[in-house]
Amino acid sequence: MTLTSLMQVNPHLQNCLNDPGVIANAYRFVSFFDLPEEYVPTAEVIAASVYDHLARGHSCLPLTRLQEDIWFSGHINTENNLSKNSDHYDISSLQEKMYPGVIIANLPYFDEALSALTTASAPYHLVIEFDAIYMRSYQSLETKIAELLIEKNQVSCTPSSGNSDAVLHKLTTILPLLFPEGVINNTQALAVGNACHRMFSIINGGPGTGKTYTAARVLLALKFLSPQAKIALAAPTGKAAQRLGESIDAALEVFNYHPVLGESAQHIPKTPTTVHRLIGTGGHSKHAKYHRQNPLPFDVIMVDEVSMLDLRMTEMLLLACKPKARVIWLGDSAQLPSVDVGCVLEDLVGTIAKQTALSRSKVTADWLTALTGTCISESSKPDYDHVITLTKNYRSLNHINDMANAILAGEYSAFHQAYNSAEKISSSFVELEKMVNENQALQWHASDYTASVGQLIKQLASQYFAKIAQQNTISEALSLLQDLKILTPMRRGKLGVEDINSLVISTLDAKASVLEPWFKGLPIIVLQNDHVTRLNNGDVGIVWPNDKGELVAFFPVNDGQYRVIHRYRLPVFEPVYAMTVHKSQGSEFANVVLVLPEQHNELCHKELLFTGVTRARSHLMLTAHKPVLEKTLITSQKRDSYLSQRIFGGA
């Protein structure tokens, strides 16, 4: 029996057939083992299951998932021919072995094949830990990250400021200057105090909760305490780094001439870089210039949008930090996890995001209480001393916040009510408002969904995107571009990014090349880092005439300046009327049109919906069938990982 035939009779494994890479990896992996011929098909099924799971971002494949999704899809225990629902089946008996081994009718020699694939004597082998199957490389990554974070996650005051009491006194003096509205029961003030108290800290919170506003005050406090401290700012993408710099700069502006904090404010760097460039990987290399033997020369390293960091980049970043460097992470654990394997921020934030009462270890509780006057209770299990979660939203309108909360709760009725509580598109766009009103049926029950969405896209193109090229200046065109963005879960297929961009382009200019468009007002996004042009993956620019009338690409940089690049010098790029929700992380737009597919798929989960909705600063229009939206709200992309258990213990 071949791998393909085994997969065809197994409903769960049929998903693997959708990815030829999974099958190829499974064949290649098993070829490293000298297995009896009869073991090979089952070994390939196991390997394909692991690779398929890793391709979805999980760091391991729990055996319970293997039991429920794979083993029981056929009959278990061929001697007794017991089915999954048999009253005689006792799962506890399976736990007596290293892994719960059973023989399946359509997976012969399962025990033998899994034992062979997990033997440590093989040059490449699987590992079973926490009752989960790991590729050895991902087990090593999780283990190393846990070791580094346990080492880093300690209480420590700034060395140059003396003892804890001296630091506390200085912070108590300047904290009211940082937060003139008051520090008692001020979560942002607590976050500043926590970051100054620990070598590793996380400021977690949703869009508009003031993460970078708070982070700027953390930097200001640390610079005041240690004027000679060298600070580095970074983010996973160029776009996120640019936004971090702009936000930090705006948040510090009020302090530039402050009698006490002005000098410190003026010496804080406001030009973040990407994490890749910070540690010196060049964007693609698995080896970094900076590592444990050659660490970064910075005393404070702050990283934004940490939800986008995968396991490998997290390990490389931590290894690049010198042991005494203070590491501060910013992020939103409710957003989409990294594109690659891992969910580091979610693992490190845990359930604290859901807690309403603050509780910490005695040392941390005493420090924060003394610093802010806030009553912090002592916790018997202080696993998350390093995290402060911000919850108050200062930016988005109430209906955006209400939708976000309904998504997190998985409540369709609450989401529907919040969605209908406000206009979907800002009233300043009269044509769009009229267009939306004419398409109300589209949102929930259009009879011909794809065609209806297509018509909506054409209206957006002709009534809105066409105006970009009609603006008098580049800055006006870019401003208009930022006012509206179409987001979708998919790159390809019907109503994917490529399909929507092609539809917009063909509507704007029937003569334009859909494959290689280039016309005035065309927005483009860079798809790879490029040192020559100093462009990063995620940078957005616009095609516009230069002084000679040539159509070139303008990319905004600091202070209203632009980087001008001729077409033939550009790295790989694509139009960006629409972008994936994943790609939109780190960005915000006044108005968002979020397009879900006609049929529910694995990309439609509440983390994606939350991220898409919260990209809207003011208004959202959603196109979705009601059943698709309902299923999306109850589907979670919780990734399988045991990083949290490695750090904090527990099962």
| Binding site residue list | 205-212
CA dist., res. 125 & res. 121, Å (int): 8
Could you say which DSSP state residue 204 is in? E
- Cα angle 229, 235, 237 (rounded to 5 degrees) comes to 150
Pairing of strands 300-303, 231-235: parallel
Beta-bridge mates of residue 328: 201, 302
**AA identity, residue 528:** Q
Q: How far apart are CA 230 and CA 324, in angstroms?
A: 12
- For 192, residues 6+ apart whose C-beta sits below 8 A from its C-beta are 171, 175, 178, 214, 217, 218, 221
Output the six-digit token pair for 509: 């200019």
Angle at 222 between CA 216 and CA 223, to 5 degrees: 90
Scored b (16 or more CB within 10 A) or e, 431-451 reads: ebbebbeebeebbbebeebee
Structure tokens given for 366: 């005493």
Quick one: tokens of 520? Answer: 């005035």
Give the position of tokens 């999954």: 84
List the one residue out of 526, 508, 518 whose CA is nearest residue 552: 518
Handedness of CA 138, 141, 147, 152 (dihedral sign): negative
User: Which residues make up each annotated binding site for ATP?
Assistant: 205-212
With vertex at residue 334, the alpha carbon angle to CA 332 and CA 335, rounded to the nearest 5 degrees, is 75
Cα distance between residue 198 and residue 152, in whole Å: 9
At 398, which helix (H) or strand (E)? helix 398-409
* 3-class SS of residue 283: coil
606-613 vs 626-634: helix crossing angle, rounded to 10: 110
DSSP assigned state of 13? G
End-to-end C-alpha distance for the chain, whole angstroms: 38
β-bridge pairing 578-580 and 484-488 = parallel
> Residues 195, 196, 199, 204: what is their CA dihedral angle, to the nearest 10 degrees?
0
